[in-house]
Amino acid sequence: MSLDAHTAGLLAVARTLHRRGALPATSGNLSVRLGPRTMLVTASGRDKGALVPDDLLVVDVDTQEVLGTAGAATSGRPSAETALHAALYRRDGACGAVVHTHDAGSTVLSMAADTAVVLDGYELAKALHGVTRHDVPVVVPVVDNDQDVPALADAVDRRLAADSVAYLIRGHGLYTWGPTLTDAARHVEALGFLFDCELRRRAR
């Protein structure tokens, strides 16, 4: 897929998620893999409902060095959280896109849960990549927040299983990924629904 196609996809998904309230203010970040060692990621501090190609940075997965942008100008800087995207690409060669959101449901649930949210018995769990049965629990780890992002990335890596598709950072929000940006965006929508179901169950 071309850089222009990846750019159009990221802009469209960012605007959709912003409209749904999953990326309030300038929060969250999105990325797609461009090649084995490069990714296209949203610049820090940008309104995700009003992104333009210059707000998408081509970044080295290993060093997080900015190599260029999807637009004409070289401006902006990657968020420190870009390292969390890079860690997922290094961990799994099949990971093609990562989306980090700050929707209210996942943030509240991350504060209410202990070490993980276990989604069990939900038919919609089959919207998650690799899940084929409703009766096999999906475990979403909850990792304590840390402003030391390399330490946070190490903590996340220790908690993820081979079949993980998401994790929560306590008080911070959701990270989810998949083979394509379409998969990752579907995960955001499905997990948002499932987390809302869990919150309602806990409130009974």
Q: What is the pLDDT of residues 56-83, one digit of tens each?
A: 999 999 999 999 888 766 667 888 999 9
Q: Model confidence at 24, in pLDDT bands (50, 70, 90)?
A: very high
CA distances 13 to 1, 4, 174, 177, Å, are 16, 14, 16, 13
In this prediction the pTM is 0.95
Q: Which of 59, 79, 85, 64 is nearest to 177 (CA)?
A: 85
Q: Which of 38, 40, 36 is nearest to 57 (CA)?
A: 40
CA distances 117 to 84, 108, 112, 114, 186, Å, are 20, 12, 9, 8, 19
CATH class of the structural domain 3-203: alpha beta
Q: Which of 107, 153, 164 is nearest to 131 (CA)?
A: 164
Which of the 8 DSSP states describes residue 45?
A: T
Q: What is the pLDDT of residues 146-204, one digit of tens each?
A: 999 999 999 999 999 999 999 999 999 999 999 999 999 999 999 999 999 999 998 87
- Please state, as a whole number, how many other Cβ atoms lie within 10 Å of the Cβ of residue 109: 23
191 vs 114: CA distance, rounded Å: 18
Looking at residue 153, its pLDDT comes to 95
Give the SS3 label for residue 66.
strand
